[in-house]
């Protein structure tokens, strides 16, 4: 039967309305890993608008999070390595000339069993949020040297930071301490890459900690926590840590008075990590709350940017490494997206 004109008109109007409304239901997807060179991840990347993060929490299905993969440009990332000394492993640096700059530097400290080059995927993701990123080679295994002695660990952590001799259990010179390495690397980057403004993060022989997010993985998270307790930094992000202590009992230094406000701390861990018990006890000692306050990233709802404690229980061979280390992250697309949601909250440039 021939369609009457009024019916055809209503039908066309309905199609037009559907086309206009559909894009508003789509939520930007979570980034996927990039490749080296001038790096870009294969999706829309991280937005720089807190309202966009809040609106993502309204998505109720994974499909809605994956629906629009091409709605905005992906920030490219300059990624490279730089030798800190003739004997140390090269540091990793990352910077996105395309992302809106946060004006901040993220210093990410590796786990004692890892090298800076093991964190390149994470470095790219952080840089795409507008931060400059440095992953220095700080490989002093204080936990092994101190054998659970909390006083020793406290002194060792401070010695790693500034090179002042505090314990015979480790040897870190002023020339080889974290502060010196950072300044030396920043000086070299500022000289070789003047357009990226690395020089704004140090003055004389000291890093400008108020513009630095100190972060770390595993034992690196313990060192990051120590830095944030003794110095006022911009932000703190702890992955799979802190782990200083014996069994499920954290070292006493973790209960010390922090120079960095509690609100500036974020932490993320896998619930099947072999050191899970001491990690969550350390969160409590630091005043961040108990594991009951943690929010899992494994569901379909994105955590708000104010959430401080994040967890995952994703199925991976190595739970400790899977949340940060290249080659150990989940291969399942949904699990990878959940992991990157955690990174997004940890390093959000608010």
User: pLDDT tens, 193-224?
Assistant: 998 999 999 999 999 999 999 999 999 999 99
Q: What is the pTM of this model?
A: 0.80
Distance CA 113, CA 128 (A): 26
The pLDDT assigned to 92 comes to 97
Helix (H) or strand (E) holding 246: strand 245-246
The pLDDT assigned to 124 comes to 98
Superfamily of domain 41-346: Alpha/Beta hydrolase fold, catalytic domain (3.40.50.1820)
Please compute, for residue 180, the number of CA atoms within 13 A of its CA located in the half-sphere on the CB side: 13
The DSSP symbol for 209 reads: G
Quick one: 328 exposed, middle or buried, by C-beta within 10 A (0-12, 13-18, 19+)? middle
Q: Taking the domains of the chain in order of start, what are their residue ranges?
A: 41-346
The DSSP symbol for 48 reads: S
User: pLDDT tens, 91-129?
Assistant: 999 999 999 999 999 999 999 989 999 999 999 999 999
Helix (H) or strand (E) holding 243: none
Residues of the chain with pLDDT under 70: 1-72, 85-88, 139
The pLDDT assigned to 25 comes to 27
Distance CA 270, CA 316 (A): 10
Residue 323, sorted as left (phi over 0), alpha (psi -120 to 50) or beta, turns out to be alpha
Residues 346/268, Cβ–Cβ less than 8 Å: yes
């Amino acid at each position: 039967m021939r369609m009457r004109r009024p019916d055809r008109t209503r039908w066309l109007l309905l199609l037009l309305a559907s086309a206009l409304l559909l894009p508003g239901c789509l939520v930007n997807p979570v980034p996927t890993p990039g490749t080296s060179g001038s790096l870009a991840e294969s999706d829309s990347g991280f937005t720089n608008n807190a309202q966009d993060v809040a609106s993502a929490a309204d998505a109720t299905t994974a499909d809605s999070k994956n629906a629009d993969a091409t709605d905005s440009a992906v920030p490219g990332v300059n990624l490279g390595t730089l030798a800190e000394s003739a004997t140390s492993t090269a540091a990793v640096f990352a910077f996105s000339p395309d992302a809106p700059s946060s004006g901040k530097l993220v210093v990410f400290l590796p786990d004692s069993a890892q090298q800076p080059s093991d964190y390149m995927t994470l470095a790219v993701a952080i840089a795409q949020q507008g931060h400059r990123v440095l992953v220095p080679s700080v490989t002093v295994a204080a936990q092994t040297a101190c054998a659970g002695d909390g006083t020793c660990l406290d002194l060792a952590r401070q010695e790693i930071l500034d090179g002042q001799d505090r314990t015979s259990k480790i040897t870190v010179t002023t020339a080889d301490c974290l502060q010196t390495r950072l300044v030396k690397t920043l000086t070299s980057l500022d000289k070789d890459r003047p357009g990226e403004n690395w020089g704004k993060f140090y003055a004389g022989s000291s890093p400008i900690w108020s513009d630095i997010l100190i972060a770390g993985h595993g034992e690196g998270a313990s060192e990051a926590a120590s830095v944030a307790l003794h110095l006022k930094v911009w932000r703190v992000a702890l992955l799979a840590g802190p782990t200083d202590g014996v069994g499920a009992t954290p070292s006493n230094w973790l209960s010390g008075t922090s120079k960095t406000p509690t609100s500036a701390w974020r932490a993320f861990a896998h619930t099947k990590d072999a050191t899970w018990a001491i990690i969550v006890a350390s969160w409590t000692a630091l005043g961040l709350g108990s594991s009951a306050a943690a929010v899992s990233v494994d569901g379909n709802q994105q955590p708000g940017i104010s959430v401080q404690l994040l967890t995952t229980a994703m199925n991976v061979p190595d739970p400790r490494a899977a949340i940060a280390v290249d080659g150990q992250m989940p291969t399942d697309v949904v699990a990878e997206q959940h992991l990157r949601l955690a990174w997004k909250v940890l390093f959000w440039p608010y």
